[in-house]
Amino acid sequence: MSRDRLFASLCGFVFLINLARIVFAPLLDVFIAEFGITEATAGLIATLVWIGSASLRLPTGWLLTKVPRHRVVLGSGVVLALSSGIAATATTVPHLMAGSFLMGIASGIYFVSANPLLSELYPARVGRVMGIHGASSQIAAVVAAPFVALALVVDWRLSLWAIAAGAAVITAATWTAAKRTKLPTAGAADRDFVDGALSEWRIIATALALVGAAVFVWQGVFNFYELYMRSKGLSEQAAGALLTLVFAAGVPAFFVSGDLADRLPHVSYLLGIVGAFAASLLVLTVVEGLLAIAAVTAVLGATVHAVYPAADTYLLDTLPDSTRSSAYATFSSVWMLTQSLGSVAVGLFLERGYTYDAVFTGAALCLGATIVALAALERAGRLPS
């Protein structure tokens, strides 16, 4: 029962952590108007959250060979509370960028420490636990747009102050739950970060090849999703509703994908999910009409969010206790750095005169070609599983 209480507190924790990463997407047009910046600069503000999320994942992996996982999780809560306050007080673009970067750092510290902890709390149900935890994270993405809209009634800064206050409360609650829980010792043998990561390089490289390009594309898509929908002739309200829908579709996808990841061959399952995401993105660029766009949006949201618990399960269920945190931190760091560049890449293409449809069509086709190549390697038995 004590483990379940800790798990519940971590689900609340990840809700705030992901809200901090997603909250900048619905604020991009506010930043463009208030600070007088271009789309590329606005995209960079959102990108810095993800760069921050990637930046300290490797050092966090090393720290986990010295410090218990739950203590590192608590540290991430402190960082989130302070950094959200910094972003909320921003009066210049560099100040805002610094706050977004630090908020991203908090999320990186959290995921690298919390995911191995959860897999070791429930070693027989890794996929299911990753699915539930991920669904809690995804709920934050669903409420981000209406949360920001509500805050804008007063001031956009209120959204960031709310995150800061919530982070302080959930950190205290997690500390209390951890004190009452007999924590696992599965990672006690993982004490050499470099050797642990190098020894699992084939699994790390395979996981990155399977999901790296997909999450890069996805970052560029979702941060500009509202603006993309408006370019298709939809109203501001409809565009906001579709952004909410793309995240809402991910909530059941996390649950279902986590369970399926426990039952299906990891590599084949990941290839299927990423292929479905590429196909749905390609279809999105050609459909017209609100109902058709909404249907494709739901499929797009479900397929891309199914990637995350499947990828985590592949790593955490496959890696041995002696290398789990080291290898997972290495994978997670590179994975996050890959996806963090998606928003600024899309912004740069748009500034050079390419349309949203052209950019996303090209991305879908490139992603599809990658999946075909990886499927051929998997069929030939060249990918570790």
Crossing angle of the two packed helices 250-263 and 126-152, in degrees rounded to 10: 170
- What pLDDT, in 10s, does the model give residues 117-128? 999 999 888 999
- Of 255, 249, 227, nearest to 240 (Cα)? 227
Q: Is residue 183 part of a domain?
A: no
Q: Is residue 27 part of a domain?
A: yes
Write phi, then psi, for 362 (nearest 5 degrees).
-60, -40
pLDDT at 362 over 90: yes
Who's near 76: CB < 8 A, 6+ residues apart? 17, 106, 107, 109, 110, 113, 114
The single-letter DSSP state of residue 72 is H
Q: Is residue 182 part of a domain?
A: no
Region 42-66 average pLDDT = 88
pLDDT band at 379 (very low <50, low <70, confident <90, very high): confident
pLDDT band at 50 (very low <50, low <70, confident <90, very high): confident
Residue by residue, DSSP assigns 282-344 as HHHTT--SHHHHHHHHHHHHHHHHHHHHHHHHHHHHHS-TTTHHHHHHHHHHHHHHHHHTHHH
- pLDDT for position 81: 97
pLDDT band at 183 (very low <50, low <70, confident <90, very high): confident
243 and 142 in contact (C-beta within 8 Å)?
Answer: no
Region 32-44 average pLDDT = 84
C-alpha 99/C-alpha 95 separation (Å) is 6
pLDDT at 377 over 70: yes
- Of 5, 12, 2, nearest to 171 (Cα)? 12
- What pLDDT, in 10s, does the model give residues 281-328? 999 999 999 999 999 999 999 999 999 999 999 999 888 888 998 999
- pLDDT for position 1: 61
pLDDT at 208 over 70: yes
Region 23-46 average pLDDT = 85
- pLDDT for position 385: 67
- What pLDDT, in 10s, does the model give residues 228-250? 999 999 998 899 889 889 989 99
Place of tokens 């205290």: 172
Per the structure, the count of domains in the chain is 1
124 and 313 in contact (C-beta within 8 Å)?
Answer: no
Q: Helix, strand, coil: what percent of the chain each, to 5?
A: 85, 0, 15
CB atoms within 10 A of CB 192: 15
Q: What is the CATH number of the domain that holds 23?
A: 1.20.1250.20
In this structure, the chain runs to a length of 385
C-alpha 117/C-alpha 137 separation (Å) is 16
Please state the separation of Cα 125 from the chain's center in Å.
21
Q: Is residue 185 part of a domain?
A: no
User: Residue 218: left if φ>0, alpha if ψ -120 to 50, beta else—which one?
Assistant: alpha
Q: Is residue 385 part of a domain?
A: no
Q: Is residue 105 part of a domain?
A: yes
C-alpha 135/C-alpha 10 separation (Å) is 12
Domain extent, residue 261, equals 2-175+190-379
For the chain, give the longest Cα–Cα distance: 58
Q: Is residue 181 part of a domain?
A: no
Q: Is residue 81 part of a domain?
A: yes
Task: Quote the percentage of the chain above a pLDDT of 90.
Answer: 63
CB atoms within 10 A of CB 286: 10
- pLDDT for position 236: 87
- Token digits for 313? 């399960």
C-alpha 222/C-alpha 142 separation (Å) is 12
Radius of gyration of the chain (CA): 20
